[in-house]
Chains A and B, each alone.
Chain A
Amino acid sequence: MPLGDADAAAVAEVVRTPVPADMQPAKLRACLSCALVKAVHQFVADGCENCPNLLEPGTGDRERVMAFTTAEFSGLVAMVKPQESWVARWQRSGRLCPGCYALRIDAEIPEDVMEELRSLGTGAPAE
């Protein structure tokens, strides 16, 4: 079956998908901004694909990763084609990159982290 351009792009996108490199739930963390779930070391190495200004790739700033990600999340959604997926739409991650996302972040976000999230413009609802 020949692939259309759009499909080819989708495939390319899928191939770049950051798949959590660890199966153990304890090692997985979710980005506080976009709920992307990866293993800690992936965040440290690659940052967050959706939020490069929050977690910049390649900095290796582990503390920052720990501050802006959380292990307190519930549910997991593997988004393969977020643009087409109703799940992604419902979760409002339709425009995010494919990957694993938390269904819900349970953590209480400390105020300073919250401030930064807002200032980065990633989540403040009023903007």
Chain B
Amino acid sequence: MESETRPLTDPPVDGGDAPPLSPSAEQDAESNEEEEEEHSYQEDSDTGDDDDDDDDDDASSQDVSHRKRSRETSDDDDDDDASSQDVSHRKRSRETSDDDDEDEDEDDETQASKRRRRGAQFLELEAEVDEDEEDEDEEDDGHELIADRGDDRVDDEDLAAEEREALARREQRRREQALLERQQDVEDLERYVHERYGGDEVEQADGERGRWRQRHRRRGAAAAADEAEAPSEDESAAALPTSVPLATMQARGAPLSEIEQQSLLPTVHDPKLFMVKCKVGKEKQLCICLLQKAVDCARAGSPLAFTAVVAPDHLRGALYVEAQREADVRTAIQGMHLVYQRRVQLVPIKEMVDVLTVRRQRQQAKLVRGQWVRLRRGLYAGDLAQVYEVREEEAVVKLVPRVDLRALARKARYGGGDGEQVPGAGNARRGTHPRRQDRPPPRLLDKAEVTRVLGINVFGRRDPRTGEWFDEFDGDNYKFGLLYKTVPRRGLVHGTGMEAATVEELEPFQVAELAAKNSAREGDHASSDGDDDERGAAAAGTEADAPADVTALEAAPASAVLAAAAKAVTESSVGDRVAHFRKGDRVRVVGGDLRNLTGAVESVLPNGKVLLRSDAVSGDGPSSVSLVQVLAADLEKHFTEGAHVRITAGPHAGLTGMVVALERDRTTASVLADVTGEVLSVSTMLLTDSSGETSAGTAATLIAGGLYRIFDLVVLHSDPHGAGVILSSTGGTSSTSATARAAERITLLTEHGTVRTVSAAEIRGKRSSSSSSSSQQALTQALDSRNQPVRAGDAVRIVGSRHAHRERQGTVLHVFGSRLFVRVPDVMEHAGVVVCSGAEVVCLSGGAAADGGSTGWSHQTSSWSSPFASGLGGPVASSGLSGGRRDALLRQTVVVVRGPHKGLAGRVMDATDTTVRLELESSMRTITIGKDKVRRKGDASAMRSGGAYGNGDVVGGLYGPGYAAPHGIGGRTPLGGYTPQLYGRATPAAASTYGNITPSHWVPGGGVGGATPAAASTYGNFTPSHWVAGGGGRGNAVPAMYGASGAATPMHPSGLMTPAHDFGGAADVWRPMTPAVPAANREPERFNTGLPPAPPTPEPTAVPEAPAALRLWVGCQVRVRSTGDIGTVNAVHAPDQLVLQVEGAVAQQRTVSRDACEPVRPDADDALAVLAGDFAGTRGVCVNVDEDGDCMFREEGTGELRVVGVGQVGRVVKGSVVERAEYV
């Protein structure tokens, strides 16, 4: 034997991809026992030398022959005995057997004589070979040999014979045993064997004889004898080969007997194997080339000396050339392309078998329909799949698709072309192997989502081969959300090599199966699945049943009951179980002596045990018994109702919640999630106690390792102009590791109300909604249906008539443009977050947003644009309150207390954080002055004057000079003090009402005489019911008010519009202020921001609609762009709809979009109204329009000439209508 010979018990056949010849690595891997064996083995070989070889050779060949004979099941007792004897040797020497004590004695014996030992070693050697074989074939499992042999016999013989033989074997073994004990010398044994079987050699089966001949020929000495045998050999050669080539044995269901095969192990006399490196993937090709080369060279008269070339599939990038000498190999590969010439390495004898041993499980395990498998490579590498159909070389499996619809949608190529598999997943599929964490998460395909995201429909398609219906998407077949994928059978991992399925993986399959069943039950023939539903369901049924005859491990998850599956899975592997325990977990012992003991996990030990700190307080003192080691398999998590837990894995990983219920078997708990309020059913193995966490609640809300929190408003890279609120995250748990984060999927609710799932990396950042910078304010504050600013934190009620959650109340989480994210406690979906536009809500409180200091133009515009908001709304619910949210000084009369203007009083027209724009009463000038230099005039007086004003107005409908009171009103203070209800019930005349209204509300409207008229018809359309707080009377009252100018009385009950309405008459009082309304010029901006509340609802909110119609007044004449028709705005119907009284037609009313018409430019002597700019609200008579686009007009009332851009004016109807012409 050669010195480099290595112990035969070296194993790992499936070490696979690394070619043999990595001595160092394997050396490391060897265990101590193996070293021992090696030692003895080498000792053997050292001492043995030539004669020993002979013995060995003989013995092994005898073995073969005997075995062969026994396989042939001769009835000859001797043969029978022989084989069984043989077996018994082997068996005895294997320590695994259930045999007699003597066996062990022998094995354990270390003090025996050397010769004795040699005998034992001989057997041991064979035993090792046995094990080696087994390792190759079965990876582990020491009993396989026996089982295999049994199988053989079952195959070949009937049972009776088997029994008889077993008996005989047992008898033989006993005899053998006695013999062995008797004999002092291994030579005796060998002699015994010779005596007994030696003579039979010649009569061995033909198949074996060939081999015999080869051996003898090699030895030369036996050549002559061999020649003598040759004729008989030729005879048999004429027949077909009787021995089945190893290659086909397995396929033929004639599994190889390891005993038989191991007799063929290479010896030093055999040619050697040399490993030659070659280009990966070209092995087979090169193998053929070498064969061709051998043929060609032989033909040319200079035969190559190598005997064989092996190109094993499982060892890549290497060729194994069998030759006697290395030089032969070098000659053979000389000049060959793609063969790396430099390295030719000898394969150690003991590794030679590895080269030829193909991992067996690949062939061994048959694919069965319904079986669970995993994919080997590609996008779905490692993913669980279920075999749906088995074809010759490929299988159709169903699995949970990893399709990123968003990614698909981004592909420009994706135009709904169904021909080629272009995009996203396709690329990932065919491109370089995607890293696991880069893959989209597995999710069932949702047809509706496909339609929504990609804008294409998923249609049914009949499979051309089977005629079965599938949903076709992106070139792939789907059914019930599962992808039906055809994969080469080699691309599947199954059987023992497969990692057990987890509950999480099975869940989607369960869902799909349920869907299939439901679909079948409902007989939903309208769907594309049509008549195949039954089939599908039937298939599902069989699939659920089929695995029962697969291995037990696979069978369990296939069962329809997920809980059972979960249980089976969790119980299937102790290792898995251990992984689920963490320190601090509450556990209960469910097996073993300590059953029902509860405690907390102290530590998880590496040996599959868990160190448990018991709850039980024993009399012996806690220390002695409190710590116990328990097998993890005997433990289950123990929770009680009310425990606060975190879900550690699965689709809901990372969520925390409270255990609200436990299944009877305590394996499943219902968890009320903290954030979403859902009740989730979760295996207790996936739960961990979270009450100990610093702050369970906050921890639960942390997303992406703490970067974000739940309900944060974030902006995506892909959509920088949009935003979304984080609803939940899955997959990432709370881990901060990068990989976990990459796997984390975050669910967002966008400002459009759609839900999308993104990865943390796709999020650009948080959008703060509490920014106080004025540039941000437009985004952090919207206007509600009453044009009151709404900010985050406000309580609102959803009033939008078309809103799904109408009449619900909630809190504004974020404001984004005009969109509000409102959290409504009653709503379960999307964690209660509801998206609505500002116009769909009514702000109920000033809430947190009542910041006195800030006043942006948005405040102004809102106030400007809602002249009625206060007038009308004051009494109604919230306007008074919301008024309190303006800048405290705005519209107030203040006194300058410092600086050159000291002592002067004026009205605050505008305010910033630090400065105010003051319109001085005395000089009619407007100055800008620091806030610190002004002081408010007394509140009390404001109140009073407000009251006076209100009184006068309501009662008399006269504003008169009294209206100047607004200067003094400024009475913002009282606002908060009055509840809407109070106002609503207050008599219209109530002074307080007016006191309530900040003058600012009046100014813009008031300048023109109040905005109400426009609302007249508007209100007419509205049902009174919308006046939630204002009382039903108002709706009726309002139209009346417009019926006759000045006849405001009917109005009065609802009251507060009147002043505005009548104000026109007293306009001169206001006149000076009107131009100063700063908001007027900003108004267009407001439109640009998209803020206009534009409530689809009626309501007093008609007033807020004013801004929507700002440029088009009621009574204003407009030209419809498309038709050129000129009409008079009669009413504002919906946010954008104008009711036009079209000229020329009798009573022809038309509703047009505001965008579709434009104001009519006035000509000289036309009545006009200024629609925008500083003079907005002013009416007058046009003097002329010059070619520069300036329009000069004489202001009504004052008679002053003013010039504005012609774009800012619109023609209004003369006459009485004109008189009432006002903007809405």
Chain A residues near B (Cβ < 8 Å): 7, 10-11, 14-15, 17, 19-20, 23, 25, 28, 30-35, 50-51, 53, 70-96, 98-109, 114, 117, 120-127
Is B246 among interface residues, defined by CB-CB distance under 8 A? Answer: yes
Does B241 lie at the interface of the complex (its beta carbon under 8 Å from any beta carbon of A)? yes
User: Once bound together, how far apart are the Cα atoms of A104 and B217, in whole Å?
Assistant: 28
Contacts A35-B248, A76-B284, A103-B313 known; list 6 others, CB within 8 Å: A76-B288, A87-B307, A88-B307, A90-B266, A109-B251, A121-B242
- Please report the C-alpha to C-alpha distance between residue A95 and residue B71 in the assembled complex, in whole angstroms: 20
CB-CB < 8 A to A23: which residues of B?
A: 284-285, 288
Assess whether B147 is interfacial by the CB under 8 Å rule.
Answer: no
Whether B303 is near chain A, meaning CB under 8 Å from some CB there, is yes
> Would A74 and B294 be within 8 Å (CB), given that A84-B307, A122-B240 are in contact?
no
Task: State the Cβ distance, B271 to closest chain A Cβ, in Å.
Answer: 6
A94 to B245, CA, bound (A): 9
Chain B residues within 8 Å of A, Cβ to Cβ: 71-73, 152, 155-156, 207, 210-211, 214, 217-218, 237, 239-254, 261, 264, 266, 270-271, 273, 283-285, 287-288, 290-292, 294-295, 298-299, 303-304, 306-314, 322, 352-353, 356, 358, 362-363, 366, 392-393
Say whether B241 contacts A50, CB under 8 Å.
yes
A92 engages B299 (CB within 8 Å): no
Determine the chain B residues whose CB is within 8 A of the CB of A91 once the complex forms.
245-247, 356
Q: Which of B245, B311, B392 contacts A92 (CB 8 A)?
A: B245
Do A87 and B322 touch across chains, with their CB atoms under 8 A apart?
yes
Residues of B within 8 A of A88 (CB): 307-308
Using known A-B contacts A103-B247, A122-B244, determine if residue A74 contacts B288 with beta carbons closer than 8 Å.
no
Q: Which residues of B contact A108 (CB under 8 A)?
A: 251, 366
Partner of B308, one of A79, A107, A117, A123: A79
Distance A121 CA – B236 CA, assembled complex (angstroms): 13
Contact between A34 and B248, CB atoms less than 8 A apart: yes
Contact (A96, B241) CB under 8 Å given A11-B298, A108-B251: yes
The interface residues of chain A lying within 8 Å CB-to-CB of B313 are: 74-75, 103
Known: A71-B393, A95-B237, A125-B156. A103 touches B352 (CB 8 A): no
| Contact pick for B240, options A53, A85, A89, A109, CB 8 Å | A53
Is the pair A15, B247 in contact by a Cβ cutoff of 8 Å?
A: no
Quick check: A94 and B210 within 8 Å, CB to CB?
A: yes
Distance in Å: Cβ of A93 to nearest Cβ of chain B? 5
Instruction: Kindly identify which residue among B214, B252, B294 contacts A117, using a CB–CB cutoff of 8 Å.
Output: B252
Is B288 a contact partner of A100 (Cβ separation < 8 A)? yes
Given contacts A51-B240, A125-B254, whether A78 and B288 have CB atoms under 8 Å apart is: yes
Given known contacts A35-B248, A90-B264, A109-B252, A11 and B303 CB-to-CB distance under 8 angstroms: yes
A-B contact pairs, 13 of them (CB 8 A): A10-B303, A32-B252, A78-B294, A78-B308, A82-B308, A84-B214, A87-B307, A88-B308, A91-B356, A95-B241, A103-B310, A108-B251, A123-B249
Q: Are B303 and A14 in contact (CB under 8 A)?
A: yes
Q: Known: A19-B295, A100-B288, A117-B252. Contact between A85 and B308, CB under 8 A?
A: yes
The residue in chain B whose Cβ has the minimal distance to the Cβ of A87 is B308
Chain A residue at smallest Cβ distance from B257: A125
Q: Is the CB of A75 within 8 A of B310?
A: yes
- Which A-chain residue is minimally distant from B269 (CB atoms)? A86
Which residue of A17, A30, A105 contacts B250 across the interface (Cβ within 8 Å)?
A105
The docked-state distance in angstroms from the alpha carbon of A17 to that of B240 is 18
Also in contact, A123 and B252, with CB within 8 A (given A75-B314, A92-B243, A92-B245): yes
Whether the pair A104, B292 counts as a contact (CB closer than 8 A) is no
User: Nearest Cβ distance between residue A14 and chain B, in whole angstroms?
Assistant: 4
Neighbouring B residues of A107 by C-beta, 8 Å: 251, 392
Q: Which chain B residues border A102 with CB–CB below 8 Å? A: 247
If A95-B241, A126-B156 touch, whether A101 touches B291 (CB-CB below 8 Å) is: no
The winner among B156, B303, B308 for most chain A CB atoms within 10 A is B308
In the bound complex, residues from chain A placing their C-beta under 8 Å from that of B292 are 19
Contacts of A98 in B (CB 8 A): 291
The residue in A7, A11, A78, A127 that gathers the most chain B C-beta atoms within 10 A of its C-beta is A78
Distance A91 CA – B304 CA, assembled complex (angstroms): 22
Measured in the bound complex, the distance between the Cα atoms of B308 and A103 in whole Å is 12
Contact of A121 with B240 at beta-carbon distance under 8 Å, contacts A35-B248, A114-B253 already known: yes
* Given A85-B322, A91-B246, also A77-B393 (CB < 8 A): no
Whether the pair B312, A75 counts as a contact (CB closer than 8 A) is yes
- Do the beta carbons of B251 and A74 come within 8 Å of each other? no
- Residues on B with C-beta less than 8 A from A125 are 71, 152, 155-156, 244, 249, 252, 254
What residue of chain B has the Cβ atom nearest to residue A22's Cβ? B288
Q: Is the CB of A14 within 8 A of B155?
A: no
Nearest Cβ on chain A to B599's Cβ, whole angstroms: 52
Of all chain B residues, which has the CB nearest A99?
B291
B-side contacts of A114, CB under 8 Å? 252-253
B1191 to chain A, nearest CB (A): 85
Q: Which residue of A lies closest to B247 (CB)?
A: A35
- Residues on A with beta carbons closer than 8 Å to the beta carbon of B353: 90
Given A17-B291, A51-B240, A95-B210, residue A87 in contact with residue B248 (CB < 8 A): no
Contact (Cβ within 8 A) B244 A78: no
- Nearest chain B CB to A5 CB, angstrom units: 12
CA separation between A28 and B240, bound complex, in Å?
Answer: 23
Known: A34-B241, A90-B356, A92-B243. A77 touches B309 (CB 8 A): yes
Which partner residue on chain B sits nearest A51 by CB separation? B240
Asked if B252 contacts A85 (CB within 8 A), the reply is no
The answer on a CB contact under 8 Å between B298 and A15 is yes
Complex-state Cα separation, A53 to B71, whole angstroms: 26
Report chain A residues within 8 Å CB of B287: 76-78, 100
Find out whether the CB atom of B356 lies under 8 angstroms from the CB atom of A87: yes
Q: Which of B266, B284, B307, B310 interacts with A25 by CB under 8 Å?
A: B284
User: Do A14 and B294 contact each other (CB < 8 Å), given the known contacts A78-B308, A94-B214, A123-B254?
Assistant: yes
Q: Name the residue of chain B whose CB is nearest to the CB of A114.
A: B252
10 closest pairs, A vs B, by CB? Answer: A35-B247, A86-B270, A78-B291, A85-B307, A105-B251, A125-B254, A78-B309, A74-B313, A14-B298, A104-B358
Nearest CB in chain B: distance from A42 CB, A: 12
CA distance A99 to B288 in the complex (A): 9
Distance (whole angstroms) from the CB of A61 to the closest CB of chain B: 19
CA distance A115 to B312 in the complex (A): 29
Which residues of A lie under 8 Å from residue B271 when comparing CB positions? 84-86
Nearest-Cβ distance from residue B212 to partner chain A, whole angstroms: 11
CA distance A94 to B246 in the complex (A): 11
Contacting residues, chain A, for B270 (C-beta < 8 A) = 86, 89
- Residues of chain A within 8 A (CB-CB) of B308 are 77-82, 85, 87-88
Minimum CB distance partner of A16 in chain B: B295
Indicate which residue in B152, B248, B254, B295 contacts A33 across the interface (CB closer than 8 Å): B248
Question: Is the beta-carbon distance between A101 and B242 smaller than 8 angstroms?
Answer: no
**Once the chains bind, are A74 and B290 in contact (CB under 8 Å)?**
no
Is A92 a contact of B251 with CB atoms below 8 Å? Answer: no
Chain A residue nearest in CB terms to B355: A87
On chain B, the residues within 8 Å of A79 by CB distance are: 291, 307-308
- Please tell me if the beta carbons of B242 and A127 are within 8 angstroms of each other in the complex: yes
Interface centre among A20, A94, A104, A121 (most CB of B within 10 A): A104
The answer to whether A100 and B291 touch (CB under 8 A), given A32-B248, A88-B307, is: yes
Measured CB to CB, the closest approach of chain A to B265, in angstroms, equals: 8
Give Cα A126–Cα B211 distance, bound, in whole angstroms. 20
Nearest CB of chain A from residue B284's CB, rounded to whole Å: 5
Contact A123 B244 (CB under 8 A): yes
User: Smallest Cβ distance from B20 to chain A, in angstroms?
Assistant: 14
Partner of B291, one of A80, A87, A106: A80
Contact of A89 among B264, B284, B291 (CB under 8 A): B264
CA distance A92 to B205 in the complex (A): 14
Q: A75-B310, A122-B241, A123-B252 are in contact. Are A90 and B246 (CB under 8 A)?
A: yes
Bound Cα distance from A91 to B358, whole angstroms:
12
